[in-house]
Amino acid sequence: MVGEHHGFAAIVVDGNSGRTIYARNEHELRHPASVTKVMTLYLLFEQLEKGQLRLDSPLMISGHAAAQAPSKLGLQPGETISVENAIKAVVTKSANDIACAIAENIGGDETRFAQMMTRKAHALGMRNTHYENASGLPNARQITTAYDLAILGRAIQDRFPRYYRYFSTHSFAYNGALHRNHNHLLDRVEGMDGIKTGYTRASGFNLLTSVRRHSHHIVAVVMGGTTAGARDRIMAQLIEQYIGGGASTRTAAAITEDNAAEEVAPAPTAIAAIERAPAVSEPVAERQPERSSYAAEEPAIDSETAVGSIPRHATAPVLKEKVERAPQADAAAQVRPAFVSGVQKRVAEEPAVTEKKGRGKTAEKKSASSPIADGSTSGRPTKGITVATTTPAAIRSTTNVAKAEAARPTKPGWMIQIGAAEDPAKANELLSRARSQLQGFPATARSFTEKVQKGNETLYRARFAGLEEDSAQSACKALKRAGFACFTTKN
């Protein structure tokens, strides 16, 4: 796609010896996307191991969690989900609302939980990883490397063998819906036991895997694939090329945590350094047209198209950069970051939207309820850097949509609620995005926000009113299919 640059990076580590047997751009900064959720589950597994939570413990869904952008399970504020079902929803559906709920139930709020995630990453030796959220939704400060993800992939199965098995879950049924695992290689590659896919427009297609075959064990990472199919083919080729090249007995010590590790946050430096480094555009596979809808996890794909050409035992590897060395974490500090979104140059076909605030800074309009585009920032950019944010087509025209009324309409009828947000602006964005999703949205539908107080938390419900019962039910069903957490109620 014109104007997009997904930096390619990959690594294969021998799980038995700890030796890196293939690497390419393994220390260069990338966005993890939904592979972030592996760390979210790492901290959840810790709580289970300590007895602070049980598999049947209920996790409360807040308004903030319910308002997360798709992919999501669609639970309403005040509902609960068991820990075990939450794990399965994150592994298969890659549900952003459930990842956020996990964060809030453990850390109190998602920001504090992200700080816990970052501290844990540094304690494990993931020196170039920084988290801002629990789901992997786009944030320019949320960064990692292929090298760091390989550490996490090895650590989580060494530390939590009892719970790691959930990463091989093929499908998950919940509330009458069946959710299939996005990692299609689970069915195609012999010995694969997980673990997680990820996709945003800024990151490209990512995959962290673990494969055990005939006493051999490898952990492999591919980041920045141009399509899901290209990423899967590359991963399958790497696995077949290197699965037999490692040790057949375990000699590597388990990865341990250094709780005294310096809690550095590399993101600001990375964002500044990107101005000096060219973006990486890796021709890893023939590019295919981009799907029109934005998703925080990879878009729905035809599994036959994506992976049908992957042999179980590929014999013609296309990647030949073999590296036989012990992992060197300190080398990361020597590497100039080559790909972090937020300051990429734009092309004429992709109009940029910026909101400047004095002293050379750029502020971003963040929303917990709507997706953030490729090149977005966290709202805390480095001083002196102007960041261009490209808005996806689905929410590009919000300035032309009338603002939602603040008061509840008094006319009897039916209403649709599509979510709740922490302030009216975010609720209005949610209403605008919902209206843009439906062709022929009922002309009588009047949008409004409604302030509610729940304990110490103030929320603004995003609602449409002035509907007949049948049209409300029909519109709500369509919105649910589009990923909104929708329900109807009588006014």
Mean pLDDT score of the chain: 74
Over residues 356-381, mean pLDDT: 34
- Of 92-101, 139-148, 292-301, 476-485, the poorest mean pLDDT is in 292-301
pTM: 0.61
Q: Please answer whether residues 228 and 199 qualify as being in contact, where contact means their C-beta atoms are separated by less than 8 angstroms.
A: yes
Q: Between the CA atoms of 415, 446, 63 and 76, what dihedral angle is there, to the nearest 10 degrees? A: 30
pLDDT at 101: 98
Q: Strand pairing of 58-60 and 487-490?
A: unpaired
Task: Beginning with the edge strand found earlier in the chain, give each strand of the sheet holding 192-200 in spatial order.
Answer: 192-200, 204-213, 216-225, 9-14, 20-24, 322-325
pLDDT band at 97 (very low <50, low <70, confident <90, very high): very high
pLDDT band at 407 (very low <50, low <70, confident <90, very high): low
Q: How far is CA 160 from CA 217, 296, 410, in A?
A: 17, 27, 55
Over residues 347-360, mean pLDDT: 35
Q: In terms of Cα–Cα distance, which of 491, 483, 489 is closest to 93?
A: 483
pLDDT at 34: 97
pLDDT at 489: 84
10 - beta bridge partners?
24, 222
Over residues 208-232, mean pLDDT: 95
Residue 213 identity (one-letter amino acid):
R
Q: With 50 as the cut, is the pLDDT of residue 172 above it?
A: yes
d(CA 389, CA 386): 10
Over residues 4-30, mean pLDDT: 90
Q: With 50 as the cut, is the pLDDT of residue 367 above it?
A: no
Q: With 50 as the cut, is the pLDDT of residue 369 above it?
A: no
Q: With 60 as the cut, is the pLDDT of residue 1 above it?
A: no
d(CA 488, CA 479): 11
Report the run of H or E that residue 459 belongs to, with start and end.
strand 457-467
pLDDT at 145: 97
Among 13-17, 174-178, 336-340, top mean pLDDT goes to 13-17
Over residues 417-424, mean pLDDT: 82
Q: With 70 as the cut, is the pLDDT of residue 336 above it?
A: no
Q: With 70 as the cut, is the pLDDT of residue 110 above it?
A: yes
**3-state SS class at 53:** coil
Residue that wins the pLDDT comparison between 334 and 87: 87
Q: With 80 as the cut, is the pLDDT of residue 481 above it?
A: no
pLDDT at 484: 72
Using one digit for the tens of pLDDT, what is the confidence trace for 46-89? 999 999 999 999 999 999 999 999 999 999 999 999 999 999 99
pLDDT band at 399 (very low <50, low <70, confident <90, very high): very low
d(CA 310, CA 100): 34
pLDDT band at 309 (very low <50, low <70, confident <90, very high): very low
The sign of the torsion formed by the CA atoms of 401, 406, 411, 416 equals positive
DSSP H stretches of helix in 67-188: 83-88, 96-107, 110-123, 146-159, 161-164
Among 212-216, 261-265, 288-292, 302-306, top mean pLDDT goes to 212-216
pLDDT at 236: 95
Over residues 190-217, mean pLDDT: 94
pLDDT at 76: 95
d(CA 162, CA 158): 10
pLDDT at 478: 78
Over residues 457-480, mean pLDDT: 83
Over residues 291-301, mean pLDDT: 41
Q: Is the peptide bond before 71 cis (omega within 30 degrees of 0)?
A: yes
Q: Please answer whether residues 271 and 382 qualify as being in contact, where contact means their C-beta atoms are separated by less than 8 angstroms.
A: yes
Residue that wins the pLDDT comparison between 419 and 116: 116
Q: With 50 as the cut, is the pLDDT of residue 315 above it?
A: no
Over residues 294-300, mean pLDDT: 46
Question: Could you give the percent of the chain with pLDDT greater than 70?
Answer: 66
Q: Please answer whether residues 158 and 51 qualify as being in contact, where contact means their C-beta atoms are separated by less than 8 angstroms.
A: no
- Of 63-67, 145-149, 363-367, the poorest mean pLDDT is in 363-367
Q: Please answer whether residues 135 and 34 qualify as being in contact, where contact means their C-beta atoms are separated by less than 8 angstroms.
A: yes
Using one digit for the tens of pLDDT, what is the confidence trace for 179-189? 999 999 998 99
Residue that wins the pLDDT comparison between 89 and 288: 89
Q: With 70 as the cut, is the pLDDT of residue 224 above it?
A: yes
pLDDT at 438: 65
Over residues 209-233, mean pLDDT: 95
